[in-house]
Structure 1
Amino acid sequence: MVDWDDLRVFLAVARAESLSGAGRGLKLDAATVGRRIARLEAALGAQLFVKSPQGYALADAGARLLPHAEQAEQALAGAAEALGAAAGHFSGQLRIGAPDGCANYLLPQVCAALCDAHPGLEIQIVALPRVFNLSKREADMAIAVSPPAAGRLTVQKLTDYRLHLAASRAYLARHAAINSRADLAGHRVIGYIPDMIFDKELDYLGVTGAETVGLASNSVPVQLMALRAGAGLGIVHDFALPFAPELVRILPAEVSLTRAFWLIRHADDRRSDRLGRLAEALGQGIRREVARLEAYLVQEG
């Protein structure tokens, strides 16, 4: 007889493609994960994985088992959802993947409100400057700056947000006044490392008129701290500016960008009422927080 807990370990290894990666998610050491896989293989009388220098790949038997294990996982999640819905609250774990600008300046407030409203909910925010792989269950849902072009995914636009050129008051005090785009020449630009831009929507260099980035990082908070330190000028999310009172916008009428956040979920999750309701609550929270922070900036201006 197959133990569900062993199937859970099987799914973790299939998604992480390594014992150590699966162990980190399960809070088990790699040796224990290996023993559990060996136990499941013995119970089924089949080899589930093939080990290679790249990690653990599904063998033929493992590939056949995968959809059944996922169905069992969804059935258990559905049972938990039904009990939670009856009680009128969310519970369990929710992992959200997001680009680090959203993860740093929007999600903490939004998720804090969700946790306050639903004490049984455990939220994990994964902030990474790249696209998330939902098919490997790196996250339950992900926020992106452009909709994916392929994959078995459901995509929902959350909200537009605005970005402007900004610099610290100290930096501007040390340099000649910037009254037009022509005055931007010769200033150090802070922005993304060009060959590490993972989405075309993050390529802001052209709008500054600069040809190179003088100080670069793949991290939005690092860029913001460099601006706060007076290292140059750069494009900043309007919703991040309230967290950096040293910064002021430059040529806001001439240098302005609008981008959007998109909520992405695995197509199979459409059957999950819990994830559907959580997605709606998350979307509402992000829209409110973007509006609140951008309104604060207008009031301060």
Structure 2
Amino acid sequence: MAEPKWDDLRVFLAVARAESLSRGGKALRLDPATVGRRIARLEEALDVTLFMKSPQGYALTQAGERLASRAEVVETTILNAHDDAAGGAEAMTGQIRVGAPDGCANYLLPQVCASICADHPGLEVQIVALPRVLNLSKREADMAITVSPPTAGRLTSQKLADYHLHLMASRDYLAKAPPLNSLEDLKAHKVIGYISDLIFDAELDYLSEIGGPRTNFASNSASVQLNWARVGAGLVIGHDFALPFAPELTRVLPDQFSLKRSFYLVRHADDRNISRLRFFAQELGVRVRHEVSRLEGRT
């Protein structure tokens, strides 16, 4: 059996992670026909079937799963060698993709990542704002910010920062709405929140902390919820770090209700020795903590 070449393994990993020839090819900027030929060549060289093909896509066979584990080790070794040659933090270059909940992605990461790139002009940073947890094992991102630490998989996590949330509403809404002197008065108000069956992490179920009132307006996006509150649709439990971007809003009943949550930076365990990602993670941690404190008015 011939020893596979890294270039073929790279194509194989892209298809395995994307579960599709076309999506795998897109990630590598190769057309699907070329990707298909490369996979066929690899299967012939190894004399095994690597994928089970179906209308749903390409799923790894047992032989494919074994090869994927070996290929990821090779990939990590090559990335390490590239970073060592580049000089680590002093020459932090290349593309880094960060996944994050949309509140963090909209109100924290743009300025944080811009400041990191200003110090390291060779970096290209991509922010993926999704209302779900990214699959790092499939390399949907190099690292992800989450609201809970991972409980399974070959992942590592570090706590980035605590952040706070309060009830908020626009001043126009409060001027026209019924009196609001206690949490009991919420029953007479319009409430904005998450779509209950699309809450992907229990830490985001904010409304359960106040008895789970019925929502009049709901979205899987924290930014949409905040913008509904900005135009006077009702009350929302919003991030304190988003308030400077929404001057129409003010905290409501801050002495009676507040929440504290945390952001975690999650990475694939095999990436811990890749200096480029390690140094970026360190920079991200320091600057996210500072930015949360600044926007919450604690610095």
TM class by shorter chain equals over 0.9
Q: More deviation in 92-101 or 69-78?
A: 69-78
Give, as a single letter, the amino acid of the residue that structure 2 aligns with 1:276.
R
Instruction: Give 1:204 shift.
Output: 1.1
Q: Which amino acid aligns with 1:280?
A: Q
- 3-state SS, counterpart of residue 88 of structure 1: helix
Aligned-partner residue type, residue 230 of structure 2:
R
Q: Which residue of 113, 116, 132 corresponds with 1:114?
A: 116
* 1:234 equivalent in structure 2: 236
**1:82 corresponds to which of 84, 106, 113:** 84
Deviation at 1:141, TM superposition (A): 0.9
The residue identity in structure 2 corresponding to 1:36 is R
SS of residue paired to 1:271: coil
Q: Distance in 1 between matches of 2:209 and 2:51?
A: 49
Counterpart-to-counterpart distance in 2, 1:114 and 1:84 = 17
Aligned-pair identity (%): 64
Letter in 2 for 1:186: A
SS at the partner of 1:36?
helix
Could you tell me which residue of structure 2 aligns to residue 95 of structure 1?
97
In structure 2, the partner of 1:170 is: 172
The residue type equivalent to 2:167 in the other structure is L
The equivalent residue for 2:186 is: 184
Note the residue ranges of structure 2 that are not aligned, 5 or more in a row: none
Q: What is the aligned-residue RMSD (CA, Å)?
A: 1.8
SS of the residue corresponding to residue 131 of structure 2 reads coil
Q: What is the one-letter code of the residue matched to 1:290?
A: V
Show the counterpart of 1:37: 39
Secondary structure in 2 aligned to 1:201? helix
Q: How does 1:181-220 map to 2 (within 5 A)?
A: 181-220=183-222
Aligned to 2:263: 261
Q: Is the 8 A contact 2:98 2:141 kept in 1?
A: yes
Spell out the pairing of 1:12-91 with structure 2 (5 A cutoff): 12-85=14-87, 88-91=90-93
In the alignment, what sits opposite 2:224? 222
Instruction: Tell me the alpha carbon deviations over residues 35-61 of structure 1, each in whole angstroms, 9 at most, x when there is no partner.
Output: 221232334343321212332122343
Structure 1: stretches of 5+ with no match in the other structure = none
- For the 8 Å contact 1:168–1:246, the answer to whether it is kept is yes
**1:150, 1:63 → 2: CA distance?**
18
- Distance, in Å, in 2 between the alignment partners of 1:87 and 1:221 is 33
Q: Distance in 2 between matches of 1:44 and 1:258?
A: 53
What does residue 4 of structure 1 align with? Answer: 6
| CA 1:223–1:68: 2 relative to 1, 3 Å | same
Moved over 6 A (4+): none
Structure 2 length normalisation: TM-score? 0.93
Query: Is structure 2 residue 286 aligned with structure 1 residue 281?
Result: no
